[in-house]
A and B are shown apart, each in its own frame.
Chain A
Amino acid sequence: MTRLAHRPISEPLQEASAQEAVAPGAGFPNGEEIRRDFPILSERVHGKRLVYLDNGATSQKPWAVIHAIMRYYEQDNANIHRGVHTLSMRATEAHDAARRTVQHFLHAGEAREIVFVRGATEAINLVAQSYGRAHVTAGNEVLITAMEHHSNIVPWQMLCEEKQARLRVAPIDDCGELRMEEFEKLIGPRTRIVAVTHVSNALGTVNPLRRIIDLAHRQNVPVLVDGAQAAPHLPVDVQALDCDFYAFSGHKVYGPTGIGAIYGKAALLDAMPPYQGGGDMIRSVTFEKTTYNELPFKFEAGTPDIAGAIGLGAALEYVGALGMDNIAAHGQDLLAYATEAVGAIPGVRLIGTASQRAGVLSFVSDHVHPHDLGTILDREGVAIRTGHHCAQPVMDRFGIPATARASFAVYNTREDIDALVEGIAKAHEVFG
């Protein structure tokens, strides 16, 4: 019995190999069981057990993903949508199956609403360049929030600059929560799109998306959700949210780098101009006129990252088998435990104390700079992120240059948090 069969969200692509088999039993496997699914976690770092707490940057990959990519190159590799030969058909089928897996993961109504991209950054650029350039004109406004990652700021800045439109920023409070009354005031007749993160990568804040989307839709403004940090931690249902676009990166959800997806409502995607031109996105080409392909291929010019999509499919099968509700509960347990343990260390201040948080614990210490802490923790085998987390406006908002950030994944345990706390104590010893 493989974990894939435990709670499938679609048919497994391939038979799972022996390494993926786990002991049968309902519910969430224990930490050591899950660690065994991730070969890199048996690496030693400076002679210590690896405690990987930099999952907000990228997650590690389970055997299921590694093997899916290997099997594709070993057995099925060919270009898709081209050949009548067997391998091309197999590759096409596997690629299509991966798209259906993403569809089910996001609870989208149709597979054609899922466009494969390189990641959340490209997803947002696609919407800004395609939807944005078609709808935003001089004097219009784009509304974002003060907790966005640079990838949900810069594409809109570029658009606004080109169109002489205005980028508006909804403020956050001292806890790192969106100030909803300000946000509501900022949506007006000039607003053309709202772009907001589901979970803040620097603060862990979970935004009240339903309210945000309701407020925007009342003014007929579509909403793009940056789901890069949410997808690994929370069940996502784009139909229940009623969001217009939802972007995420595969590599943060245990998939390979270089692959991600954007969900868009079919009616919106249909009406949007293509993002890039090339092969596969066209129906017919003459030098006079090109007819574009149907969704989602209109937005997928050129040979895609076929192996990446298959790897992403395998990753989402993996988390589907664990169950996103179970993963969310496990994440909440770790976050609560870490918040208490790290928050109790004298001289440590948590940055981001919103009532709803997920996946991320950001903090600063009076005694040690985040960068020095990162170096000392690394020598203990503990990997965290230090710096501004590509969210410089968030750092400015809190008047700090950087934070230390521990971010969690399915394979993390309370022992990992204990190792983090011991490491911080060690750093405090060094810096007295």
Chain B
Amino acid sequence: MTELDELYQEVILEHSKAPRNYRRPEATNRTAEGYNPLCGDRFTVFLDMEGDAIRDIGFQGSGCAISRASASMMTQSVKGKSKEAAARLFEEFHRLVTGEAKTAEERTKLGKLAAFAGVSKFPVRVKCATLAWHTMQSALEGKQNVVSTE
């Protein structure tokens, strides 16, 4: 598989074309906006929090295939998780896309998200893969500012 094929895996292409949870949940009680000024990617992440648990999550906005697929798959992965578990997952995901997750075990632990391992060969695209995650983190922390990956 070429590096390009590894980057644009089938599952990533599929999510970028038909993103899941691309909506604002009715009971949204936290939102945050993320912006990557370099490429113009802009997403809003909506959270429906019940205490420290993510009861529902959605996103809207525009961006490249990597950022869209990452946002889509993130919403699937963190729904139902606690704030701490979501933050931990982001940390593991970040290690994956920056090439720090060296062991197979670390990668398989991420399940479907392991498809993003190819991003590590394209350092300028790390920001695309993590934009929605940074935005979610910001929403979880209740920050008001627009998150920027620059």
Chain A positions within 8 Å of B, measured between CB atoms, are: 368-372, 375-376, 379, 386-388, 392, 395, 401-402, 430-432
Contacts of B40 in A (CB 8 A): 387-388, 392, 395, 401-402
CB pair A369–B38 under 8 Å, yes or no, is: no
The answer to the question of B3 belonging to the interface, with a C-beta cut-off of 8 Å to chain A, is yes
Q: How far is the CA of A375 from the CA of B129 in the complex (A)?
A: 14
* Chain A residues whose C-beta falls within 8 Å of the C-beta of B42 in the assembled complex: 401
Are the CB atoms of B39 and A387 closer together than 8 Å? yes
Selecting from B61-69, B73-81, B86-94, the interface stretch reads B61-69
Tell me which residues across on chain A come within 8 A of B7, comparing CB atoms.
Answer: 375
Q: Which chain B residue lies CB-closest to A373?
A: B64
**Contact indicator A369/B3 (Cβ below 8 Å):** no
Give the CA-CA distance A431 to B13 in the complex, in Å: 7
Q: How near does chain A come to B121, taking the closest CB pair, in angstroms? A: 10
Q: Which B-chain residue is minimally distant from A368 (CB atoms)?
A: B65
Residues of chain B lying within 8 A (CB to CB) of residue A395: 40
Q: Determine how close the nearest CB of chain B comes to the CB of A30; give it in whole angstroms.
A: 32
| In the complex, chain A residues whose CB is within 8 Å of the CB of B4 | 375-376, 379, 430
The 7 nearest A-B residue pairs measured at CB:
A401-B40, A371-B64, A369-B64, A402-B40, A371-B39, A372-B65, A372-B64
Asked, given contacts A372-B64, A379-B4, whether A386 binds B39 with beta carbons under 8 Å apart, the answer is: yes
CA distance A395 to B65 in the complex (A): 19
Chain A residues whose C-beta falls within 8 Å of the C-beta of B3 in the assembled complex: 379
Task: Output the nearest chain A residue to B3 by Cβ-Cβ distance.
Answer: A379
**Assembled-state Cα–Cα distance A314/B22 (Å):** 55
Query: In the complex, which of the residues A369, A375, A401, A402 contacts B122, with contact meaning CB atoms closer than 8 Å?
Result: A375
CB-contacts of B26-53 with A (<8 A): 37-42
The distance in angstroms between the C-alpha atoms of A369 and B69, with both chains bound, is: 13
B13→A370 contact, CB < 8 A: no
Complex CA–CA separation, A375 to B125 (angstroms): 9
Per the bound structure, the CA–CA distance linking A369 and B62 in Å amounts to: 10
CB-contact partner of B41 in A368, A376, A401, A432, under 8 A: A401
Residues in A neighbouring B62, C-beta threshold 8 A: 401
Q: How distant is the Cα of A368 from the Cα of B128 in the complex, in angstroms?
A: 15
Chain B contacts for A368, CB-based, 8 A: 65
Q: A370 near B122 (CB under 8 angstroms)?
A: no
State the total of A-B contacts with C-beta under 8 angstroms.
50
Q: Shortest beta-carbon distance, B133 to chain A, in Å?
A: 17
Pair A372/B66 contact, Cβ less than 8 Å: yes
B125 CB contacts on chain A under 8 angstroms: 371, 375
Measured in the bound complex, the distance between the Cα atoms of B4 and A372 in whole Å is 10
Q: Given that A372-B65, A379-B4, A430-B8 are known contacts, is A402 also in contact with B13, CB under 8 Å in the complex?
A: no
Give bound CA distance, A372 to B122, whole Å: 11
Which of A370, A386, A401 has the most B CB atoms < 10 Å from its CB? A401
Question: Would A430 and B13 count as touching, CB distance under 8 A?
Answer: yes
Q: How far is the CA of A402 from the CA of B37 in the complex (A)?
A: 10
Q: CB-nearest residue of chain A relative to B61?
A: A401
Q: How far is the CA of A92 from the CA of B8 in the complex (A)?
A: 55
User: Chain B nearest CB: distance from A347 CB in Å?
Assistant: 14
Which residues of A are found within 8 Å of B37, using beta-carbon distances? 388
A387 nearest CB across to chain B (Å): 5
Asked whether, in the complex, the Cβ of A431 is within 8 Å of the Cβ of B65, the reply is yes
Do A387 and B38 have beta carbons less than 8 Å apart?
Answer: yes
25 A-B pairs in the complex with CB atoms less than 8 angstroms apart: A368-B65, A369-B64, A370-B64, A371-B41, A371-B64, A371-B128, A372-B8, A372-B65, A375-B4, A375-B7, A375-B125, A376-B4, A379-B2, A386-B39, A387-B38, A388-B37, A388-B39, A401-B39, A401-B62, A401-B63, A402-B39, A430-B4, A430-B13, A431-B8, A432-B13
Bound Cα distance A402, B39 (Å): 7
Cα-based distance from A379 to B4 in the complex (angstroms): 8
**14 further contact pairs, Cβ within 8 A, besides A369-B65, A372-B64:** A368-B65, A370-B39, A371-B64, A371-B66, A372-B65, A375-B122, A375-B125, A387-B38, A388-B37, A401-B62, A401-B63, A402-B39, A402-B40, A432-B13
Bound: A432/B17 CA distance, A: 10
Point out the residues of chain B lying under 8 angstroms from A376, CB to CB. Answer: 4
- Max count, chain B CB within 10 A of own CB: residue among A392, A430, A432: A430
**What is the minimal beta-carbon distance from B63 to any residue of chain A, in angstroms?**
7
Assess whether B13 is in contact with A369, with CB atoms less than 8 Å apart. no
Q: How far is the CA of A368 from the CA of B63 in the complex (A)?
A: 10
Contact (Cβ within 8 A) A369 B8: no
Q: How distant is the Cα of A408 from the Cα of B17 in the complex, in angstroms?
A: 32
Distance in angstroms between the alpha carbons of A379 and B8 in the assembled complex: 13
In the assembled complex, the CB of B62 is this many whole angstroms from the nearest CB of chain A, namely 5
